[in-house]
Structure formats: C-alpha cells, structure tokens
Chain A
Amino acid sequence: MVAAPPARVRSHGPIAFGRDTVLITHRHLLRMWRTPQIMVLSAIMPIMFVLLFRYVFGGSIRVPGYTSYVDFLIPGILVQTVIFGASSTAVGLADDVSKGVTDRFRSLPIHRGAILAARTLADVMRLTYTVALLIGVGLLVGFRMHTDVLSVLAGLGIAVFFGYACSWLFALLALAVRDTETAQLAAFLVTFPFVFAASTFTSTAMMPPWLRTFADAQPVTKVADALRALMEGTGSASGPALSALIWSAGILIVASSLATWRFRRI
C-alpha cells in the first residue's frame, strides 16, 4: 500500500558522521567552485594588505630584530588572512540558516554533527587555498623564510589550525545572529580589534602600555609570534608554538561545544 519503507536509519557513529560530513562538504565546495568571483575576491583582500603594508607603510615601519620588514609582515598577514577567511563561516552558515537549507538538512536522518563539521571543513579548505596564494605573493614581493621546510610547514599548519578554530567561533556567532548581513558586520567588528591590536603589522613594543598589555596577551599576537619564530627563526620556536597551539585548541574546544549546543536549539 504505502511506498517502500524509507531508507535505513544509520545516523549514529563515526562512519555516519564521516560520510555525511563528506557529502555536505562536497556541496559547499561545489558552491564555491561555481561562484569563482567569491574565490577571487577573497584572495584579493590579503594581497591588497600585502601591497599596502609592503609599499605604502612599510618604508616607515622599523621592527627591532628584522632587517627586512616584509619578513615580519607576511606571517602577520597570514594570521589576518586565516581570521578573515574563517569569518566566511559566519556568512555562509547564517545564509544557510536563514534560507532554510539548514532546516532541510536537519529534517533528514543524518548525523547531527555533520552539518557544522562540513561547514567548517569546507571553509578551512578555502582558507588553505588563500594561505597558499598569500605565500606565493609574499615570495614575489621579497618575503624569504630563514628556517627549514619542516618548521615552515609547522608554521603553516598552526596558521590553518588557528583558522579552523576561529571558523567554529564564527559558526557560533552566525547561530547567535542568524541574519546574513548582521553576521557579516558582526564578524568584521569582532575581528577588527584582535587583528589590529596585535603584532600583526608592527611590534607591540611601540604601543602605549595599556594597549600593549592587551596585544601581548591575546591569541593573534601569540600565533603571529609563533609563525615568525617558525618561519624566520627569530628566537626559540617551541615556546611560542606551544602557546599558539594551546590557544587554538582552547578556542576550538570551547567554540565547537557552544556552537553544537546552540545548534540543537536553533
């Protein structure tokens, strides 16, 4: 009488999680692939910052311990790039939530965790592409690394991991505001003080004491310093690298738990 029994229920466990995550990630990547203008535009932003700071401000910025400012600059812009890249999670997720795409997924017998996992995975893949592009542009404008391949890869790995953690933070933000435009604006406002009140573009040593206290303590500086240590060999790398990893892991654990919790009562 009634149509054949519905597809089997297999929505628990790591296999279901992996399968559903891959399927939905593939959807997000297809979308990105089909809107190349977004890929191009998201690559232009970090390049503009490189050119701006390399050629416009760079001449008047001196950083103790660096003979070439561009060697200081590129690791900083790398951190900025992964944060701005991660903020696309806020826009993408808010868009899916407000357009009902998330509801469609949530009404299907899939692993609950797959929806956010796929969103952040697709965004971290996009962010990795921007990172690669940035390194290429950096090399063209005179950026040089002064350590070994392993250290450089470790540095890039930390940058991407930090970006991934931030992506969950932005997922949480999207779930809180829901509206796409609000999410975009909020992501920018939240990001701004952390990116600029940090060692991103210049040493924190020149900042007034109150600002320097904040800048030195916050994760963007920690990650930027770790990248510089790993890529430029300025001082011992293990301390800053550990600190950057702890910050990233902490953000990841807290943000992903809160986002998952928030997602359940969306």
Chain B
Amino acid sequence: MSDPPIITAEALVKSFGSTVALAGVDLEVERGTVLGLLGRNGAGKTTLVRILSTLLAPDVGHARIAGADVVRDAQTVRSRIGLAGQFAAVDETLTGRENLELVGRLYGLGRREARARAGEVLDRLTLATAADRLVLTYSGGMRRRLDLGASLIGRPLVLIMDEPTTGLDPGTRIELWKFIDELVREGTTLLLTTQYLEEADRLADRIAVIERGRMIATGSPSELKQRVGGDVLEVRSANFGDLDRLVTLLSGLGSGPPVADVRGQRVTLPVSDRVSTLFAAARRIEESSIEIDDLSLRRPSLDDVFLALTSPGRPAESGTPTSPRNGHSAYERVVA
C-alpha cells in the first residue's frame, strides 16, 4: 500500500510512579486493516489504548491518528475515533436509546440526526427491541454491544476496542466477530486488544504482541506461527503439580525447550523430527509414572507463539524483538 499508515506510534513511554506501563512502543496500522494487540494482564494494552484515544498523554514519544497528533491535536483525533473501553461505559439509569442519542449529540449531531443515527446503530447491534428499556435491565453482553454502539455513533475512521469480547458467552462473541467483519468491509480501521489468541487469529490482519510494556513481536498470524517453527508436541498433565517434572523430563527431546502452560495444565514442545520425538517422549513419560491425560502432535497455534515469545527467562530470539533502542527494526522487517 502506498497510503501512509493511519495509526503511527513512535517510542511511546508511560510510567505510573515506579511502574513502567509502556517502555518504548512503536506501532503502525495500515488504513482499513485490523490490528490485534495481544498481551496478558498488565502487559500495557489499556495504557496504549488510552494514549491513542487521547485519554492519557505519553511521557515520551508521540502518536498520530489520520495525521493528527494525539496530544497536540487531540480534538481532531477525538472526532475521528470511536472508543469502546475495557469496561462498558454506559449509563444504567438511561435507556439504550438515550445513551446513544447523548453520545450522538456530543459528537455535534442535531437532535433528529442523533435520533436517527441511534436507531440505525441499535438495529445493527440487534438491540432495537430493548432500546427503550433502562440499561439497568440489560445483560452483560447487551451492555457491551451498547458500548460498542456508542463508539460507532460518530462514524469513526478508526475504531479502538479494548478487550471487546471479554466476558461474553461464545455465541455472543461470534456475533460480535461477524459484526466486526462487517465494519472492516466498510473500510473502518480497527485496533483491538485481546487476551485470546483465537480471537486475534480470527480477526486480525496483523498481530502485535506486547509484554511488560514492550512489543515483542509483530506480524501476520501466519508469520508469527512460522516463527515457532515446525510442529508441536503437547502433553496434558493429569495433575497440576506435575508440570515442572514434565518440563524436566522432556527437555532436550525437541527442537527447542519445553514450555509449561499453567492455565492449560500442559507442556508444549517444539519438534522437528515428529515420530521419533513422539516415541521418545511417550517412553520417558511411561517410565516416569507421571499421569497424563493426553499426548498429541499438532500444527503450532498462536498460543504456542505467545508462550514461546513470553516465557520468562527465555532469551529473545535474535532479530525478532523490538526494543526501544533498535526502534522499528522488527516491525519494518515484517512489513518489508
């Protein structure tokens, strides 16, 4: 694409007291694409979102949206973005329609225009039947949709969503994904944060992985998967306490070190020599008498990428990470 990126951030740093929330973040998002910002709790996702949406000024660095600086030209930025924050910021004692109309009027629409626009958005988000009920009576999913609706009222060029599907049931999440697809087809640029790799994989054209305030990888979902290399051997442990023993047991067998995923109660191991590694692993596990639930070989998922990139103590692979000093290098490599 020859268009300049619609979102650019350069060397953003933000600290809260002694906590460094962002330690030099660079970012570029092309017009009309979806960027998935992936990171676990406390990684700095919301901080980055708040800077891009003009709610927070960075200590160092700058960012632009559609050419407007988020600090110096904040009002222009605000008229071009829609923000759906991490927690639904809707008013419980107002109806859904009143919530959207207020936002519409604050965008500068006239009374009738705001009413019409609110009606349109409510229809699109299948909230029309609940439109005139107090938000107090809405379910969590309905609130989220209403909040998203509020961010769409101003027809934003760039939509910023902080964990849009957290707390939604699977059905509602898929609904929201379809809706996001529609917005993208219409040309909206999207930046969304998520803790779910599945979601980033499904929605994003590019993924940026953030960890402790640094971008540790950027690329398309398939590029990131390639980074982990070949296949993955996965061992699901029957007992929580056995994960460490499994890691010790499996080390040296694969093409890289085994990684424990505590939440999934499993250990993954990158492998190049599929069958012989599988046999070797099976033998060792049997001799050790560690109880396991599952042992399988599969293609790498984004989970593996994430675990491989963020596992503590693991030295960064040469060339891949972005640090504040080597600036855009990782990003440029992937873009080039």
Q: Which residues of chain A have a CB within 8 Å of any CB of chain B?
A: 1-12, 20, 23-24, 27, 30-31, 34-35, 99-101, 103-110, 265
Contact = CB atoms under 8 A, between A and B. Distances in A.
Contacts of A8: 79, 108
A39 to B, nearest CB: 13
B107 A104 contact: no
Interface in B32-54: 32, 50, 53-54
Q: Which of B32, B55, B88 has the most CB of A within 10 A?
A: B55
B134 interface: yes
Interface string B164-188: 0000000000000000000000111
A30 B94 contact: yes
Contacts of B155: 3-7
22 contacts: A2-B157, A6-B80, A7-B107, A7-B155, A12-B75, A23-B106, A31-B94, A34-B93, A34-B134, A35-B93, A100-B89, A101-B89, A101-B91, A103-B50, A103-B83, A104-B89, A107-B53, A107-B54, A107-B78, A108-B78, A109-B78, A109-B107
A30 B57 contact: no
B150 interface: yes
A110 B106 contact: yes
Contacts of A31: 91, 93-94
Closest 4 CB pairs of A and B: A100-B89, A2-B187, A104-B89, A109-B79
Contacts of B157: 2-3, 6
B226 interface: no
A20 B75 CA distance: 14
A114 to B, nearest CB: 9
Interface of B: 32, 50, 53-55, 57, 75-76, 78-81, 83, 85-89, 91, 93-94, 98, 102-103, 105-109, 134, 150, 154-157, 186-188
Given A6-B157, A30-B98, A100-B89, A107 B108 contact: no
For the complex, would chain B's binding face be called helix, strand, loop or mixed by DSSP majority? loop
A236 to B, nearest CB: 47
A148 B228 CA distance: 86
Nearest to B98: A30
A104 B103 contact: yes
A23 B105 contact: yes
A243 B225 CA distance: 73
A118 to B, nearest CB: 11
A104 B91 CA distance: 11
Given A2-B187, A109-B76, 6 more contacts: A3-B187, A6-B80, A6-B157, A11-B78, A35-B93, A99-B87
Contact of A108 (B88, B103, B134): B103
Indicate the member of A11, A12, A108 with the most B CB atoms within 10 Å.
A108
A5 to B, nearest CB: 8
Contact of B79 (A1, A6, A100): A6
A105 B94 contact: no
A7 to B, nearest CB: 4
Nearest to B107: A7
Contacts of A23: 102, 105-106
A110 B87 CA distance: 21
Contacts of A100: 85-89
Contacts of B87: 99-100
B107 A6 contact: yes
A106 B89 contact: no
Contact of A104 (B83, B108, B134): B83
Contacts of B75: 9, 11-12, 109
A40 to B, nearest CB: 16
Contacts of A11: 75, 78-79
A105 B102 CA distance: 10
Nearest to B186: A3
Nearest to A1: B187
A27 B86 CA distance: 22
B107 A108 contact: yes
A9 B83 CA distance: 17
A20 B98 CA distance: 15
Nearest to A11: B75
A16 to B, nearest CB: 9
Contact of A27 (B57, B91, B186): B91
Contacts of B109: 7
A7 B154 contact: yes
A1 B86 CA distance: 29
A157 B222 CA distance: 69
Given A2-B188, A6-B154, A100-B89, A107 B55 contact: yes
A103 B85 contact: yes
Nearest to B78: A109
B128 to A, nearest CB: 20
Highest count of chain A CB atoms <10 Å: which of B54, B83, B188: B83
A104 B76 contact: no
Nearest to B152: A3
A30 B83 contact: no
Contacts of A110: 106
A9 B187 contact: no
A106 B55 contact: yes
A265 B57 contact: yes
Contact of A106 (B54, B76, B105): B54
B187 A107 contact: no
